[in-house]
Amino acid sequence: MKKLSIFLLLFFFHFNFAQNNSNNSIQVSILTVGTADASHSLYGHTAIRVKNPANNTDLVYNYGMFDFRTPNFVLRFVKGDMQYFAAAYPYNDFEYSYRYENRSIYEQVLDLPIAKKQALIKALEASISGEEKFYTYKFIDRNCTTKVVDIVNSVLPKETIYKHDVSETSYRAILYPYAENHFFQKLGINLIFGTKTDQQATQLFLPFDLKNNLEKTQLDNKPLVSESKTLFEANRVPEKTAWDSIYTLLVVLALIVIINKKSVTTAYFSILGILGMFFSLVGLYSYHEEIYFNYNVLLFNPILPLIAYFDWKKNRKGLVYTSYIALACLFFYFLFMLTKIHLEIVWPFMLANAMLLVRRIYLTS
């Protein structure tokens, strides 16, 4: 009996030692993927990696999954009720896909106690099963990066991961440089965004912002990141097309002003007005708070098509009044834009509109 007791004691000691050793070997890390030129890859990507040599698993938990085959994909994305979902799959597949896209992969290993690793793995597994795997994507408030921050923070005390370098910088200013080599993409993004993106950026919502802040994060008075490494360094040459620049816009607008044909001016104002209507209506239709209260309608003014209408009806009084109202809106827009970072890319429209409106008033009066 005594021998049996000693045997059982040794067995359970060995079992517990092996189990603890197995848990110690588990590596949890944050993966940050580099940017690319496509709109969905412009800001990078974030995921979580769990590597367990004891059972020979190496999984990536990815919260940026979506299906292009979703019915009415574009409309649902614009509306803001697009369902993204979480999934786990082998790290090798993850790395292969981003190597294929020639996008860098960076890894930050988290220094977590065994209990925190186990709790995080449990939370990760729960997040990829059942209804929890689906979530409604929001550009700033709920995306692949915020989901990673939330799930890691859920097992840590007092929201350990947060934005350390909060300043007066706005969300728009943080986003602005990412489209540096894509002028018309940058122009479109900044025209569709409303006042929310001009608010102070207090939230971690971009992959590289999270990456930088993780390096400053501590847990129990120790750095949360125990090791940072580059798993793949892409040799990217930014795509830059000769026509994709502000000079193309300047040439087009200069031609519209110089040609000085009523039909061309009418068509130009009509296009701008239709875009302004879209900016106004999409804010009512969409759940994306980023596009609410879009002051760019003062530039892409929905009343501009009225100029064409009054011109067609030979209503000189209506044409002049409408032109003055559009000019006044343009003036207030200019004052408002003096503190906005995207003034440097919309000023050609402001100048062209002002010249065309003043000319229309002068010729009609």
pLDDT for res 69: 64
| Average pLDDT for the chain | 88
Look at residue 107 and give its three-state secondary structure. Answer: strand
Q: In the predicted model, is pLDDT for residue 83 greater than 80?
A: no
Burial of 306 (0-12, 13-18, 19+ CB in 10 A): buried
What is the rounded distance in angstroms from the CA atom of residue 74 to the CA atom of residue 17? Answer: 54
For the segment 101-127, what is each residue's pLDDT rounded down to a tens digit?
999 999 999 999 999 999 999 999 999
Q: What percent of the chain has pLDDT over 90?
A: 66
Question: Rg for the chain (alpha carbons), in Å?
Answer: 27
Which is more confidently placed, 50 or 37?
Answer: 50
Q: How confident is the model at residue 130 (pLDDT cuts 50, 70, 90)?
A: confident
Task: State the average pLDDT over residues 194-215.
Answer: 94
Q: What is the pLDDT of residue 9?
A: 43
Distance linking the first and last C-alpha atoms of the chain: 114
Mean pLDDT of 278-301: 88
Tell me: the pLDDT tens digits for 223-282? 999 999 999 999 877 777 888 999 999 999 999 999 989 899 999 999 999 999 999 888
Share of residues in the chain with pLDDT > 70 (%): 89
pTM: 0.86
What pLDDT is attached to residue 34? 95
Q: What is the pLDDT of residues 141-154, one digit of tens each?
A: 999 999 999 999 99
Show the tokens assigned to 52.
């367990």
Q: Are 206 and 145 in contact (CB under 8 A)?
A: yes
What pLDDT, in 10s, does the model give residues 305-317?
Answer: 998 889 888 899 9
Q: β-strands 134-136, 105-110: how paired? A: unpaired
User: How does residue 131 score in pLDDT terms, banded at 50, 70 and 90?
Assistant: confident
Tally: H helices and E strands in the chain: 13, 9
- Residue 21 clears pLDDT 70, i.e. is over it: no
Query: Which tokens go with 240?
Result: 């830059």
Domain boundaries, the chain: 25-166+181-232, 246-364
Burial of 194 (0-12, 13-18, 19+ CB in 10 A): buried
Whether 284 contacts 313, CB under 8 Å: no
CA distances from 111 to 26, 57, 115 (A): 11, 19, 12
| pLDDT for residue 74 | 58
Question: CATH assignment of 25-166+181-232?
Answer: 3.90.1720.10
Reported as a pLDDT band with limits 50, 70 and 90, residue 75 is: low
